[in-house]
Structure 1
Amino acid sequence: MLNIRISDLKIFVHKLLIDKTFDPLLLVEASIKSDVSYHISGRINREFFTDEELEALPSDMYIPWSAQKGNIFNVIKGSKLPLGFKIVLIARDRDIKHIIENNNLHMNPDDVANLAMNILYDGNEIIVTTITSLKTFSLSKELEHLWDQNVKAFLSKNEITFEER
């Protein structure tokens, strides 16, 4: 598990909510606390979509971040900063498979529940925490360390400065 503090909030929030930087990820949930509290579940309501639309989605469980970030941006924008927010994003199944295969890990991608990034803004700072969740028990921490490395590389590649805590 990686716990990092984002150095430049303005750049990070711009890349999160406006740029396409985080678009490859899926939204699990978002909570925003401002004048009122908002909670958005990223779980797909299957009955809303046609069969063709469902087939085009990258996940049968969670909506792409790109499909909801505009709504979240509209809640957050304004003359005042929100009191806080929490956004949970996860890697797509194909990206989990890619990490496992490219690093020759001896595990089945189906045994991975998710690789997550918890993004928490408390009114002062943004903390990003990585989480590796498996469906089966494992003593190995290889995938967890690889996910941490991937997140750090992702942030650095996208010129998001941070410090590990």
Structure 2
Amino acid sequence: MIALKLNHTKEFMSQMLLSDTFDNFLFIEGRIVTFNTFTIDGYIQKAFFESAEELPQYSSWKNVREYCFSLIKGKRTPLSFHFILCLSPKNTAFLIEENHLDFQPESVQGLYLNLKYDGSALTCITGTSLHIFTMDKSLEHAWDCYLQKFFSQKNISFDLA
């Protein structure tokens, strides 16, 4: 787990809300505080769909991005927000394979990205959750490195907090 201070909030939010930078991440939950507090659960309600057999457990960021943008846009900056995103199972399996880690993709509950804005600063905290107990931190370290490389490739400026 690492904490990153994102240096340019406006530029980051532009990438988050107006581009496809995070579209392949799953949306776990979000909370946006503007004139009201809006809480969004990313869990897909499969009963809503006629055919829900192949639906994932959570929505992709791509499917809720526009709605979140509609809550945030305007002349005033939100008082705060908190988004929890998760690396997709496909990309998790790729990360494990690419780093030659001794983990089965099914043993990983999630590789998380917690984005928190408190009205003045935007931080990102990584997290790892497994279905198994292990003292092996190689997946956690690989996820932390992956995220830092991802941010650098997307020209997202950050400092270790």
- Report the TM-score when normalising by structure 2: 0.97
Displacement after TM superposition at 1:48 (Å): 1.5
Point out 4+ residue stretches in structure 1 off by more than 6 angstroms: none
Q: What's the counterpart of residue 27 of structure 1?
A: 27
The DSSP-based 3-state class of the residue aligned with 2:65 is helix
Q: What's the counterpart of residue 14 of structure 1?
A: 14
Q: Alignment RMSD, CA only? A: 1.0
Q: What's the counterpart of residue 85 of structure 1?
A: 81
For residues 18-67 of structure 1, the C-alpha deviation after alignment (integer angstroms, 9 at most, x for no partner) is 1100001010001001111000000001012232x653x4xx21001000
Distance in structure 1 (CA, Å) of the matches to 2:93 and 2:69? 30
In structure 1, stretches of 5+ residues that fail to align are: none
- Asked if 1:95 is matched to 2:91, the reply is yes
Percent of residue pairs bearing the same amino acid type: 33
What count of residue pairs does the alignment treat as equivalent?
Answer: 161
The DSSP-based 3-state class of the residue aligned with 1:123 is coil
- Report the TM-score when normalising by structure 1: 0.95
Displacement after TM superposition at 1:79 (Å): 1.2
In structure 2, stretches of 5+ residues that fail to align are: none
- Which residues in structure 2 correspond to 1:106-145 (within 5 Å)? 106-145=102-141
Distance in structure 2 (CA, Å) of the matches to 1:87 and 1:106? 30
- Asked if 1:43 is matched to 2:39, the reply is no
Distance in structure 2 (CA, Å) of the matches to 1:21 and 1:48? 28
Distance in structure 1 (CA, Å) of the matches to 2:50 and 2:30? 25
